[in-house]
């Protein structure tokens, strides 16, 4: 509950009831304001919509969770606004487990709590949320954090109940008990809600398609804007901004901070400072994903020659990364371990960097699980992670379900090998230094094998050159 929130539900407002406005920049509400502010409003539309498309899917997810915890009371909070500084907050985004189990996405009301109450044959599930405040209450007109006068309308309990297909109750009535299992406090429940997302249902797959399509449009925007981006002193910021515009207009926002890494910055895996120029002759690595309103996100990387044409060494490195990605893709099928995708990609990386004379040992020695790993200097990260409502989805799943688990139809994950030769890495010839390449695609596993959801975004060196030529013709 925020500091300036006032629980006066149902009370008649008077001067004495009004929140103390004793800050150094606000004045108390004069009597005339208080006597008139609650009158003269049209009746509210308390529209009760049809259940949203996600409702039956979220219900099935709740049933699966319920079956894992007979007799236990489960609590899944949406989370609260997080302070950024003073009285400004970060944009609210509900906890991923809460969103997955309710179907409530970017429109979720902060502070809501989902409670599974055990019954003799399962659980009764109730969603507690802050009910609308009557217009006679100070919350309505004086609470800058939650008052509808300030931040806009929120749905009534009955509307949310129909929309999501879940019984609702007022937040004030939520009761927490010492033996509750609470997500992020209880390890078993935290693991369970993560593992529940390892395979995606049909609704989730559709959302992933939408997220990938929007992300593709964002990449098209960047390519089309390349001349202006090059002309901007902090061109990496321009890349970030162009993508952000697309993410906000087509979705809820970005699913993670955009990496716009030009030239040697591409070798810093989490380069989100994005304050460098975009210089013709260099490559720019862009790792970006649109999070759609249901909160599912894409996670896609393309590495582009800023001038529109790869140099020979850039192309050689690029096409090697693509070979690693294609080899990993070919290795992925139902029933093989998740880990084998990485092993397939790393085999290519190790052999190629050995061929180029970059390793102090042979590729076979480098690939030895105990004694090797010399090639990992040039690709230190993993090749794949689960993807969905979180960019690194299912992160609390057990290792035997994740890294050592078997690929199943319905899983969505990335394939994202790279090669990164840092600008000051004396182990590689000078022509390699400062070149970083990653290709990242979003993959859906099906009964008949993997599907590359992001295949329509140009990815071979030739396709990329043609893409840039078309866009800037």
Residues in the site for ligand GLY, rule: CB under 6 A? 256, 287, 299, 385, 391, 416, 440
CB closer to ligand GLY, 163 vs 416: 416
Alpha-carbon distance of 219 to 239, in angstroms, equals 9
Among the listed residues 414, 435, 453, 454, the single contact to Mn ion using CB under 5 A: 414
Binding partner of residue 256 among Mn ion, ligand GLY, none, CB cut-off 5 to 8 Å per kind: ligand GLY
Residue 230 has φ and ψ, to the nearest 5°, of -65, -35
What 37-46 contacts at long range (C-beta under 8 Å, 24+ apart), as own/partner pairs, is: 37/13, 37/135, 37/141, 38/13, 38/135, 38/136, 38/140, 38/141, 41/135, 44/132, 44/153, 44/156, 46/156, 46/158, 46/159
CB closer to ligand GLY, 203 vs 338: 338
- Report the Cα 415 to chain-centroid distance in Å: 16
Closest distance of CB 298 from ligand GLY, Å:
10
β-partners of residue 101 are: none
Tokens found for residue 87: 């009285």
Closest distance of CB 299 from ligand GLY, Å:
5
Q: Give which of 337, 423, 314, 446 is closest to 383, Cα–Cα.
A: 337
Closest distance of CB 387 from ligand GLY, Å:
8
CB closer to ligand GLY, 195 vs 299: 299
CB closer to ligand GLY, 131 vs 287: 287
The window from 264-272, 357-365, 406-414, 423-431 that contacts Mn ion (CB under 5 A) reads: 406-414
Binding partner of residue 326 among ligand GLY, Mn ion, none, CB cut-off 5 to 8 Å per kind: none
The window from 103-111, 260-268, 411-419, 426-434 that contacts Mn ion (CB under 5 A) reads: 411-419
With binding defined as CB under 5 A, does residue 299 bind Mn ion? yes
Total number of residues that touch Mn ion (CB under 5 A): 4
CB closer to ligand GLY, 98 vs 271: 271
Q: Is the separation of the CB atoms in 66 and 123 below 8 Å?
A: yes
CB closer to ligand GLY, 391 vs 439: 391
The window from 31-39, 217-225, 343-351, 436-444 that contacts Mn ion (CB under 5 A) reads: 436-444
Closest distance of CB 389 from ligand GLY, Å:
15
Place of tokens 């500084």: 85
- String of b and e for 80-100 (b: at least 16 CB within 10 Å)? eeeeeeeeeeeeebbbbbbbb
Q: Whose CB is nearest to ligand GLY? A: 287
Binding partner of residue 142 among ligand GLY, Mn ion, none, CB cut-off 5 to 8 Å per kind: none
Closest distance of CB 86 from ligand GLY, Å:
30
CB closer to Mn ion, 131 vs 299: 299
The window from 196-204, 271-279, 321-329, 409-417 that contacts Mn ion (CB under 5 A) reads: 409-417
Binding partner of residue 454 among Mn ion, ligand GLY, none, CB cut-off 5 to 8 Å per kind: none
For Mn ion, the binding residues in 439-468 under the rule CB under 5 A are 440
For Mn ion, the binding residues in 133-192 under the rule CB under 5 A are none
Tokens found for residue 239: 């890349």
Closest distance of CB 285 from ligand GLY, Å:
11
Closest distance of CB 237 from ligand GLY, Å:
18
CB closer to ligand GLY, 64 vs 392: 392
β-partners of residue 169 are: 128
For Mn ion, the binding residues in 277-296 under the rule CB under 5 A are 287
CB closer to ligand GLY, 52 vs 385: 385
Binding partner of residue 123 among Mn ion, ligand GLY, none, CB cut-off 5 to 8 Å per kind: none
- Report the Cα 5 to chain-centroid distance in Å: 30
Closest distance of CB 256 from Mn ion, Å:
7
The site for Mn ion (CB under 5 A) is made up of 287, 299, 414, 440
């Amino acid at each position: 509950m925020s500091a300036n929130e006032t629980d006066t539900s149902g009370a008649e407002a008077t001067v004495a009831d009004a929140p103390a406005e004793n800050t150094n920049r606000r004045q108390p509400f004069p009597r005339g304001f208080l006597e008139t502010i609650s009158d003269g409003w049209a009746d509210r539309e308390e529209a009760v919509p049809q259940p949203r498309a996600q409702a039956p899917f979220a219900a099935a997810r709740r049933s699966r969770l319920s079956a894992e915890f007979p007799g236990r009371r489960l609590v899944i909070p949406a989370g609260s606004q997080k302070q950024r500084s003073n009285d400004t907050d970060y944009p609210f985004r509900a906890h991923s487990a809460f969103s997955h189990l309710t179907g409530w996405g970017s429109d979720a009301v902060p502070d809501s709590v989902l409670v599974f109450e055990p019954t003799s044959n399962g659980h009764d599930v109730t969603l507690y949320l802050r009910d609308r405040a009557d217009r006679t209450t100070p919350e309505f007109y004086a609470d800058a954090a939650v008052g509808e006068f300030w931040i806009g309308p929120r749905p009534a309990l009955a509307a949310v109940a129909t929309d999501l297909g879940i019984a609702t109750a007022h937040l004030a009535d939520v009761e927490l008990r010492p033996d509750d299992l609470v997500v992020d406090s209880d390890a078993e429940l935290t693991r369970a809600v993560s593992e529940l997302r390892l395979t995606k249902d049909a609704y989730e797959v559709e959302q992933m398609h939408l997220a990938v399509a929007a992300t593709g449009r964002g990449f098209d925007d960047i390519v089309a804007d390349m001349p202006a981006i090059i002309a901007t002193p902090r061109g990496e910021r321009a890349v970030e901004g162009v993508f952000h515009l697309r993410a906000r207009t087509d979705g809820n926002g970005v699913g993670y901070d955009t990496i716009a890494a030009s030239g040697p910055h591409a070798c810093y895996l989490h380069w989100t400072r994005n304050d460098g120029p975009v210089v013709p002759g260099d490559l720019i690595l862009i790792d970006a994903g649109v999070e759609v309103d249901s909160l599912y996100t894409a996670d896609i990387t393309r590495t582009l020659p800023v001038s529109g044409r790869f140099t020979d060494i850039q192309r050689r490195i690029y096409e090697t990364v693509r070979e690693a990605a294609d080899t990993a893709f070919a290795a992925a099928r139902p029933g093989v371990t998740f880990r084998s995708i990485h092993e397939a990609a790393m085999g290519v990386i190790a052999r190629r960097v050995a061929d180029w004379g970059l390793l102090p040992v042979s590729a076979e020695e480098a690939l030895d699980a105990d004694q090797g790993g010399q090639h990992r200097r040039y690709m230190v990260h993993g090749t794949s992670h689960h993807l969905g409502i979180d960019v690194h989805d299912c992160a609390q799943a057990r290792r035997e379900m994740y890294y050592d688990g078997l690929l199943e139809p319905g899983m969505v994950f990335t394939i994202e090998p790279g090669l990164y030769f840092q600008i000051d890495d004396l182990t590689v010839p000078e022509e390699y230094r400062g070149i970083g390449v990653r290709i990242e695609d979003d993959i859906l596993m099906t009964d008949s094998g993997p599907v590359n959801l992001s295949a329509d975004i140009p990815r071979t060196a030739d396709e990329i050159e043609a893409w840039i030529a078309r866009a800037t013709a």
